[in-house]
Chain A
Amino acid sequence: MTNELDIFVGNTTLIDEDVYRLWLDGYSVNDAVALRVRSGILEQTGATAAVLQSDTMDHYRTFHMLERLLHAPPKLLHQLIFQIPPSRQALLIERYYAFDEAFVREVLGKKLSKGTKKDLDDISTKTGITLKSCRRQFDNFKRVFKVVEEMRGSLVDNIQQHFLLSDRLARDYAAIVFFANNRFETGKKKLQYLSFGDFAFCAELMIQNWTLGAVDSQVDDMDVDLDKEFLQDLKELKVLVADKDLLDLHKSLVCTALRGKLGVFSEMEANFKNLSRGLVNVAAKLTHNKDVRDLFVDLVEKFVEPCRSDHWALNDVRLFLNQYSASVHSLDGFRHQALWDRYMGTLRGCLLRLYHD
Chain B
Amino acid sequence: MPGKLKVKIVAGRHLPVMDRASDLTDAFVEVKFGNTTFKTDVYLKSLNPQWNSEWFKFEVDDEDLQDEPLQITVLDHDTYSANDAIGKVYIDIDPLLYSEAATVISGWFPIYDTIHGIRGEINVVVKVDLFNDLNRFRQSSCGVKFFCTTSIPKCYRAVIIHGFVEELVVNEDPEYQWIDRIRTPRASNEARQRLISLMSGELQRKIGLKVLEMRGNAVVGYLQCFDLEGESGLVVRAIGTACTLDKLSSPAAFLPACNSPSKDMKEIPFNEDPNPNTHSSGPSTPLKNQTYSFSPSKSYSRQSSSSDTDLSLTPKTGMGSGSAGKEGGPFKALLRQQTQSALEQRGGSPHRFCRRREFPFFTLTAFPPGFLVHVGGVVSARSVKLLDRIHNPAFVGIMGNTRSYKLLDWNSFNADEPETRDAWWAEIRQEIKSHAKALGCHAVVGYSESTSICEEVCILSASGTAAVLNPRFLQDGTVESCLEQRLEENLPAGCGFCHIPYDELNMPFPAHLTYCYNCRKQKVPDVLFTTIDLPIDATVIGKGCLIQARLCRLKKKAQAEANATAISNLLPFMEYEVHTQLMNKLKLKGMNALFGLRIQITVGENMLMGLASATGVYLAALPTPGGIQIAGKTPNDGSYEQHVSHMQKKINDTIAKNKELYEINPPEISEEIIGSPIPEPRQRSRLLRSQSESSDEVTELDLSHGKKDAFVLEIDDTDAMEDVHSLLTDVPPPSGFYSCNTEIMPGINNWTSEIQMFTSVRVIRLSSLNLTNQALNKNFNDLCENLLKSLYFKLRSMIPCCLCHVNFTVSLPEDELIQVTVTAVAITFDKNQALQTTKTQVEKSLQRASTDNEELLQFPLELCSDSLPSHPFPPAKATSVDYSSFADRCSSWIELIKLKAQTIRRGSIKTTVTVEKASPMSEGNFRNRSAPPCANSTVGVVKMTPLSFIPGAKITKYLGIINMFFIRETTSLREEGGVSGFLHAFVAEVFAMVRAHVAALGGNAVVSYIMKQCVFMENPNKNQAQCLINVSGDAVIFVRESELEVVSSQPPTANCQSSCPGGDVTT
Taking Cβ atoms with an 8 Å cutoff, the residues of A that contact B are 1-14, 45-48, 50-52, 54-55, 57-58, 61-62, 64-65, 75, 77-83, 85-91, 93, 160, 164-166
Contact = CB atoms under 8 A, between A and B. Distances in A.
A55 B943 CA distance: 23
Interface string B960-988: 00000000000000000101110111011
B426 interface: no
Contacts of B291: none
Contacts of B793: 45, 47, 51-52, 55
A97 to B, nearest CB: 11
B759 interface: yes
Interface in B932-948: 932-939, 941-944
B786 A165 contact: no
B809 to A, nearest CB: 14
19 contacts: A1-B779, A1-B782, A5-B763, A5-B819, A5-B980, A5-B1016, A6-B761, A9-B758, A10-B757, A47-B793, A50-B786, A51-B786, A61-B981, A86-B934, A87-B929, A88-B926, A89-B937, A164-B933, A165-B933
Interface of B: 13-14, 108, 110, 118, 121, 734, 756-767, 779, 782-783, 786, 789-794, 796, 817, 819, 926-939, 941-944, 977, 979-981, 983-985, 987-989, 991-992, 995-996, 1016, 1066
Contacts of A5: 761-763, 819, 979-980, 983, 1016
Contact of B995 (A10, A54, A80, A87): A80
Given A77-B936, A87-B927, A89-B934, A11 B980 contact: no
A64 B758 contact: no
Contacts of A82: 988, 992
Contact of A93 (B933, B941, B944): B933
A64 B980 CA distance: 12
B1034 to A, nearest CB: 15
B764 A7 contact: no
Nearest to B979: A5
A2 B765 contact: yes
A4 B934 contact: no
A7 B987 contact: yes
B1028 to A, nearest CB: 15
B817 A80 contact: no
A81 B118 contact: yes
B705 to A, nearest CB: 38
Nearest to B814: A4
Which of A75, A83, A89 has its CB near the most chain B CB atoms (within 10 A)? A83
Contacts of B734: 45-46
Given A7-B762, A61-B984, A90-B928, 7 more contacts: A8-B794, A9-B759, A65-B984, A78-B14, A81-B110, A81-B989, A93-B934
Which of A11, A88, A160 has its CB near the most chain B CB atoms (within 10 A)? A11
Nearest to A80: B992
Contacts of B1066: 85
Contact of A6 (B942, B980, B1016): B980
A11 B1033 CA distance: 14
B766 A1 contact: yes
A5 B987 CA distance: 13
A86 B757 contact: no
A22 B930 CA distance: 26
B929 A85 contact: yes
Which of A7, A46, A83 has its CB near the most chain B CB atoms (within 10 A)? A7
Given A9-B988, A65-B985, A87-B931, A4 B758 contact: no
B interface majority secondary structure: mixed
Contact of A81 (B767, B783, B790, B988): B988
Which of A3, A10, A47, A166 has its CB near the most chain B CB atoms (within 10 A)? A10
A156 to B, nearest CB: 13
A55 B760 CA distance: 11
Contacts of B118: 80-81
A77 B121 contact: no
A61 B756 contact: no
Given A1-B767, A65-B985, A87-B927, A8 B938 contact: no
Nearest to A86: B934
A85 B789 contact: no
Contacts of B762: 3, 5-7
A54 B757 CA distance: 19
The 3 closest A-B pairs by CB, nearest first: A90-B931, A5-B763, A164-B933
A51 B984 contact: no
A80 B934 contact: no
Nearest to A82: B988
Nearest to A5: B763
Contacts of A80: 108, 110, 118, 121, 939, 992, 995-996
A144 to B, nearest CB: 14
A160 B933 contact: yes
A8 B758 contact: yes
A114 to B, nearest CB: 20
Contacts of B790: 8, 51, 54-55
Contacts of B761: 5-7
Contacts of B791: 8
Contacts of B935: 86
Nearest to B996: A80
Which of A52, A55, A80, A85 has its CB near the most chain B CB atoms (within 10 A)? A80
Given A55-B794, A93-B934, A166-B933, A83 B789 contact: no
Contacts of A54: 790
Contacts of A8: 758-760, 790-791, 794
Contacts of A77: 934, 936-939
Contacts of B763: 3-6
B937 A86 contact: yes
A91 to B, nearest CB: 8
A1 B995 CA distance: 36
A154 B515 CA distance: 83
A189 to B, nearest CB: 38
Contacts of B987: 7, 9
Contacts of A9: 758-760, 984, 987-988, 991
A88 B797 CA distance: 14
A191 to B, nearest CB: 33
Given A10-B757, A89-B934, A83 B995 contact: yes
A10 B121 CA distance: 21
Contacts of B756: 10-12, 14
B660 to A, nearest CB: 18
A7 B761 CA distance: 5
A62 B981 CA distance: 9
B62 to A, nearest CB: 31
Contacts of B108: 80
Contacts of B938: 77-78
B13 A78 contact: yes
A58 B794 contact: yes
Nearest to B826: A10
B928 A11 contact: no
A75 to B, nearest CB: 6
A79 B938 CA distance: 9
A48 B944 CA distance: 30
A48 B792 CA distance: 12
B1015 to A, nearest CB: 13
A166 B942 contact: no
A85 to B, nearest CB: 5
Contacts of B764: 1-4
Nearest to B927: A87
Contacts of B121: 78, 80
A23 to B, nearest CB: 14
A51 B789 contact: yes
A8 B983 CA distance: 10
A11 B991 contact: yes
Contacts of A12: 756
Nearest to B796: A45
Nearest to A76: B934
B821 to A, nearest CB: 10
Contacts of A88: 926
